[in-house]
Amino acid sequence: MKLSELGEFGLIELIRQKSPTGSGVHRGIGDDAAEISLPAGHHLLTSTDLLIEDVHFRRDWTDYQALGHKAVAVNLSDIAAMGATPRYLYLGLACPGDTDLDDINMFLNGALDEAARHNVALVGGDTCRSPGPWLISVTIEGSAPANQAIGRDGAQAGDLIMVSGSLGDSALALQMLREGQAPDAELLARHHRPTAQVELGRRLAERGLARAMIDISDGLAGDLEHILQASRVDGVIDEELLPLSAAFRRATDGHPTLRQLALYGGEDYELLFTVPPDRVAEVSALGVQLQLSITRVGIIQEGSGRLSLRDGTGAIHALQVRGYDHFCHA
């Protein structure tokens, strides 16, 4: 069946039926606005992301379930980066009238499964016909006890720079797809089905372990620079300390340009945060508890937002940040 046969209201009803309600939801899908209550003493955190066909994804490189998963995961990652708890989701969806309902169902399954895994309820959205490309707009709301959320602006000289997981896998998979090569399954999964580090972010905030935090969507260097500029400090990354997966090492061995994807590639959706030196042991213990690798990659220094890299020989280079800019990388 095609979307044009089901119609806008048929699709909204389908979405409503697939969406379990959530705690704190007084009115969800079906009214003019969602009505929600947050736990007492919590602040509301809201983030939104656009995904546009042929800019953010290609329908011939992904499947609809993975697309739904990723649309939600990248938003969860923004809430994780604040150290907050994700709670409510809004989905804006525009696709052509001849879209197959099976594709829509797969997309919704991917999105709703990922939301449910984090106890996040879909409570509203908007639906319309697109003249061509798919457009997906996801808004997420989360909450955190007052004064607990972690911004980009709290890093202080002496803090250690830490990162979860491994870097560059997603960007390497994308690069290989672009070149017509088949990335191995582990790299592809990192690209198509990223994992938001929600639990890690929340625990870091609850225990006050991180002073500044961001999720890595535009590459380690570019996102670290956001922290440095917001916090008015400098940062030095140690190239030898960058956490690389075995699959990434294999595929980039002898290819220094590809190796650089660990610094400049995007879409890792790992957390990058700064920790006062006397709290590093607690962060390491948290990593063990959550079965996540957490690696120290550098240090914060007094300064004014500049980033540099210490290479294998100990030489320090000012870094040319090449994070993704939508208007500069057409």
Which residues here bind Mg ion, judged by CB under 5 A?
126
| Contact call for residue 105 and ligand ADP (CB under 6 A) | no
Number of residues that bind ligand ADP (CB under 6 A): 13
Q: Quick one: 109 exposed, middle or buried, by C-beta within 10 A (0-12, 13-18, 19+)? A: middle
- Orientation of helix 8-18 relative to helix 101-117, angle to 10°: 30
Residue nearest ligand ADP by beta-carbon distance? 125
Buried-exposed string 262-273: b where 16+ CB fall within 10 A, e elsewhere: bbbbbbbbbbbb
Phi, then psi, of 147 in degrees rounded to 5: 70, 20
* Beta carbon of residue 48, minimum distance to ligand ADP (angstroms, whole number): 14
Compute CA distances 243 → 144, 252, 261, 270, whole Å. Answer: 30, 14, 12, 11
The CB-nearest residue to Mg ion is: 126
Residue 126 Cβ vs Mg ion, minimum distance, rounded to whole Å: 4
CA-closest candidate to residue 150, choices 277, 268, 271: 271
Q: Cα(195)–Cα(180) distance, rounded to whole angstroms?
A: 25
Q: Which of 5, 31, 54, 113 binds ligand ADP (CB under 6 A)?
A: 31
Element (H, E) at 130: none
Query: Which stretch, 77-85, 122-130, 139-147, 188-196, contacts ligand ADP (CB under 6 A)?
Result: 122-130
Instruction: Determine which residue in the list 35, 100, 113, 126 makes contact with ligand ADP, applying CB under 6 A.
Output: 126
CA distance 95 to 114: 21
Q: Does residue 5 bind ligand ADP (CB under 6 A)?
A: no
Instruction: Tell me: does residue 168 bind ligand ADP (CB under 6 A).
Output: no
Binding string to ligand ADP for residues 11 to 30, with x set by CB under 6 A, is what? -x--x-------------xx
Q: Based on the shown chain and the rule CB under 6 A, indicate whether residue 236 belongs to the binding site for ligand ADP.
A: no
Q: Which stretch in 44-52, 69-77, 124-132, 287-295 sits in contact with ligand ADP by CB under 6 A?
A: 124-132
Shortest spacing between CB 140 and ligand ADP, in angstroms: 13
Task: Determine if 71 is a binding residue for ligand ADP (CB under 6 A).
Answer: no
Amino acid (one-letter) located at 215: D
Alpha-carbon span 171 to 79, nearest angstrom: 22
Among 82, 91, 138, 216, binds ligand ADP (CB under 6 A): 91
Phi (first) and psi of residue 84, to 5 degrees: -105, 175
> Least separation, in Å, of the C-beta of 136 and Mg ion?
15
Crossing angle of the two packed helices 101-117 and 64-80, in degrees rounded to 10: 30
Q: Which of 106, 290 has the CB closer to ligand ADP?
A: 106
CA 24 to chain centroid, in Å, comes to 25
The yes or no reply on residue 93 touching ligand ADP (CB under 6 A) is yes
- Contacted entry of Mg ion, ligand ADP, none for residue 29, CB cut-off 5 to 8 Å set by kind: ligand ADP
DSSP one-letter code for 300: E
State the nearest-atom distance from the C-beta of 9 to Mg ion, in Å. 10
Copy the structure tokens of residue 324: 């993704």
DSSP run (H or E) holding 51: strand 42-52
Taking CB under 6 A as the rule, does residue 32 contact ligand ADP? yes
Residues that bind ligand ADP (CB under 6 A): 12, 15, 29-32, 91, 93, 122, 124-127
